[in-house]
Structures are given as C-alpha cells and as structure tokens.
Amino acid sequence: MENFKEYFIIKQRTIRRQSSNFLKWFLISVSVGLFIGVIGTLFRYLIDMANDIQKNNWWLIFLLPIGGIVIVFLYKLCRDSDSGTNTIIRAVRSEDKPSYFTPLLIFVSTIITHLFGGSAGREGAALQIGGGIGSTIGSIFKMNKNDMKIITMCGMSAGFSAVFGTPIAASIFAMEVTSVGIMYYAALVPCVISAFVAKEITILLGASSTVYDMVIFPNVNFVSFGQTALMGVLCAVLSIIFCESLKLTSKYYAKLINNKYLRIFIGGLLIIALTFLVGSRDYNGAGGAIIINALSGNARPEAFALKLIFTVLTLGAGYKGGEIIPTFFIGSTFGCLIGEMIGLPASFGASIGMMALFCGVTNCPIASIMISIELFGVNGLWLFAVAIAISYRLSGYYSLYAGQKIAQSKKRIEFIDKKTH
C-alpha cells in the first residue's frame, strides 16, 4: 500500500511538472509569435515598398554605395559583429548570444539594400530578426542556457513564417538548419505554435500567403523520375557553385579591400556597373516577379547565372539581406531552362529547381520537402522528394551558412560534427 501511494505521488509530480513545462512554453510561443508576427508583417510591407520605390525610381541605384556606407556605420556604431544568420545559428548550438541590436540592424540594413537595388532576399533576414528577438526575450527573463536555445529557434520559426507564410517548413527549418542530421525535438511545440501564430497575425494584418498554383505537373512514372533525378544532380552542382562563389567573393573582397567602408562602396559601384552592362534591373532587389515568370514557364537562359553574380557581389561586399529568395530566383530560372531541355514542363522544372537548390545550399531536406508542399501542394510530392534527396546527398558539405555544422555524415550512419565549406 505504501509503495502504491509513493508511486502515485511520484506520478502526480511528474504530470504536474510536464504540464507546467508545456503551459510555460505554450504561453511563451504564443507571445513570441504575436510579437514577431507584427514585426515580420511590418518588415515584409517595408521590403515590398522599398522594392516598388526602387523599380519606379531607377536613379536610386546610384545611391547604393552611400547606402552601403550607412550600413557599415550602423554596425560599427552598435558594435555588432555583422556575421548575420551565422550568429543566430551558433546561438542555438552554443552559449553565444546575438547582440540586442541585431534584429534592428538587420531590419534597417536589409531595407536599405533593397531600396537602392542590391541583390538580396528577406527570409534570411527574417531568421535573424526572429532569432535575435527570441534571444533578447530569453535574456530579459534570464532563461537558462537550454531554454535560450529553444526560444531562439522559436523566434527563428516565427520570423520565417511571418515573412514567407510557410509555418510547417519554418518550424522544421529552425530545428534542422543548425546541426545537419540532428533535429532538436524539444523545440517542436514552441516552433510550431509560434510559426502558426505569426502566420495568422500576418493574415489578420492583411498580408497574403505565398502559394504558386500555376505549375504544370507531369505524370509520375519512370521517365519523369529519371528527369527529376537529373535535375537533382544538376542542382547539387549549382548549389556548390553558389556557395563557393559567395565564399570566395567575400574572401577576395576582404583580401583586396581591408577597409569595410571602401569595400562596400566599391561593391555598390560594381552592382551599378553590372546593372547598366546587363541593361536590365531584373537582377536588383529580390526578384519575386521573375520567380513567378519562371514558375509560369518563362525565363531567360542567362537569368540564373546573372542573379548568382549579382547576389554574390552584393552580399560579399557586406550588404545585408537574405539568401533564400535569391536561391529561389536562381533555382527557378535554372530549372525552367533545364526542365524544358530534358522534357519536363518548364514550370515544373522551375519548381523542382527552386526546392532542390534550396536544399543543396541549406542542407535541410525535410524543411525543403515541407516548403514544396506548402508552396505547390502534394501533386508532385514524390518527384520533389527525389530531387531534394539527391541534391542533399550530392551537394557535399557546402552551405550558405558558415555557422552551420554537419553533425551526421551524408554518406553513412556516423557522427562527424564537421564544419561546412
């Protein structure tokens, strides 16, 4: 009888402890989602407005070098490391914390980059904003080191969801991106709840979700399987080229021009010169309209290469913004071109290129599959999974994020804890 009472008491304590922990994280997640949902919607609105202003006022491109100097000055003024998404990724894996100024700095500097015609995205910036806000909230409430990691991922998922509107993918991406091969399931409930709340806030505030319903899907058979597998191989190669180009461009910028002010100024001049040399402003800003055109089956053959060059010159010089939308641009235009060449519907080739390249540069296959479902539905799921899996396997240990670690080998079941290239 005494043993039964003791067992019952222990069980009661366990249930109370688990219930209390769940309620704590439920309330935290809702609060983070609400706050970052509002901030993310404002950020999304201002980025769209900056792109519209830039398109309607071509002369703003001449102010890009000055905008770059302002960005460097702001980071220097706030004594921020300016290492971007890598800071947030490392915060999840270690006890490092981003600066309190990180969310505000990336918010303002990304708008500057877009306003004056730099080639960058917004989702990567949203990860920094969300993760930085999450970390700041954790610091204010003096959370322990383990809870700090969870609330940082919670903020990352909310930021990604608010800006891109894919809450399931946002939740998985936040848990998957830091240590490839290991997912932090303790953050699952906080990430899912905060991502869902953030997305609903954006809808309430009038922002629309991103859904591409213009894609023409092929029949799933051995032929389309082989064509899609080939797309996965080619996107893996392109992902390595993109990652290496960004890394080498940043390296040589720093090697040749030590002064950050001069470096970003010259980077801005290069973007101006390249814009007029190409004779088009399609490659400035985010390029959302070009992605839609590619997914409708229309893309210029050189578009993917030019966007890659514009992006590495912009981000390598020190301008701020995300890498994800440029990746979608490069992947969709490349896939549109190659898909048509190998017999796939051009629009479907564009969608495969988007997802396979995204996986190759981020090493996040599960998040990539989830994004494909949320953006394109389930019709082509088998083929998306094939291309994504092959791209993941063949892209090696390259990544857009130097702060990312490869925890598990891609070749065998083995813990390697390897830095990305």
- Model confidence at 6: pLDDT above 90: no
User: How many CB atoms lie under 10 A from the CB of residue 80?
Assistant: 18
Q: pLDDT value at position 2?
A: 56
Comparing 335 with 183, the larger pLDDT belongs to 335
Q: Report whether 198 contacts 167 (CB < 8 A).
A: yes
Q: Report whether 39 contacts 92 (CB < 8 A).
A: no
**What percent of the chain is modeled with pLDDT above 90?**
76
Which pLDDT tens digit goes with each residue over 362-379? 999 999 999 999 999 998
Strand partners, 121: 322
Checking DSSP bridges between strand 179-180 and strand 405-408, what pairing results, if any?
A: parallel
Q: For residue 242, name the pLDDT band (cuts at 50, 70, 90).
A: very high
Q: Which CATH architecture has domain 9-204?
A: Orthogonal Bundle (1.10)
Q: Report whether 53 contacts 213 (CB < 8 A).
A: no
Q: For residue 93, name the pLDDT band (cuts at 50, 70, 90).
A: confident
- Model confidence at 251: pLDDT above 90: yes
**Average pLDDT value for the chain:** 92
Q: Report whether 315 contacts 321 (CB < 8 A).
A: yes
Rounded distance, CA 353 to CA 236, Å?
Answer: 10
Q: pLDDT value at position 100?
A: 85
> Residue 27: exposed, middle, or buried by beta-carbon count in 10 A (0-12, 13-18, 19+)?
exposed
Concatenated DSSP letters of 305-332 = HHHHHHHHHHHHHT---BSHHHHHHHHH
- Model confidence at 3: pLDDT above 70: no
Q: How far is CA 97 from CA 139, 160, 248, in A?
A: 9, 19, 27
Rounded distance, CA 106 to CA 131, Å?
Answer: 11
Checking DSSP bridges between strand 405-408 and strand 415-419, what pairing results, if any?
A: antiparallel
Q: Report whether 263 contacts 318 (CB < 8 A).
A: yes
Rounded distance, CA 106 to CA 410, Å?
Answer: 33
Nearest to 334 by CA among 313, 308, 316, 310: 308
Q: Report whether 46 contacts 163 (CB < 8 A).
A: no
Fold of the domain spanning 222-419 = Clc chloride channel (1.10.3080)
Q: pLDDT value at position 1?
A: 54
Taking residues 227-253, what's their average pLDDT? 97
Q: Would you mind telling me the total number of residues written for the chain in this entry?
A: 421
Within this chain, domains 9-204 and 222-419 share the same CATH topology: yes
Which pLDDT tens digit goes with each residue over 395-409? 999 999 988 989 999
Taking residues 210-222, what's their average pLDDT? 88
Q: pLDDT value at position 97?
A: 79
Which pLDDT tens digit goes with each residue over 295-304? 999 999 999 9
- Model confidence at 237: pLDDT above 60: yes
- Model confidence at 172: pLDDT above 70: yes
Tokens of 258: 């030590």
Lowest mean pLDDT among 55-69, 145-159, 282-296, 407-421: 407-421
Q: pLDDT value at position 7?
A: 63
In the chain, what are the domain boundaries?
9-204, 222-419
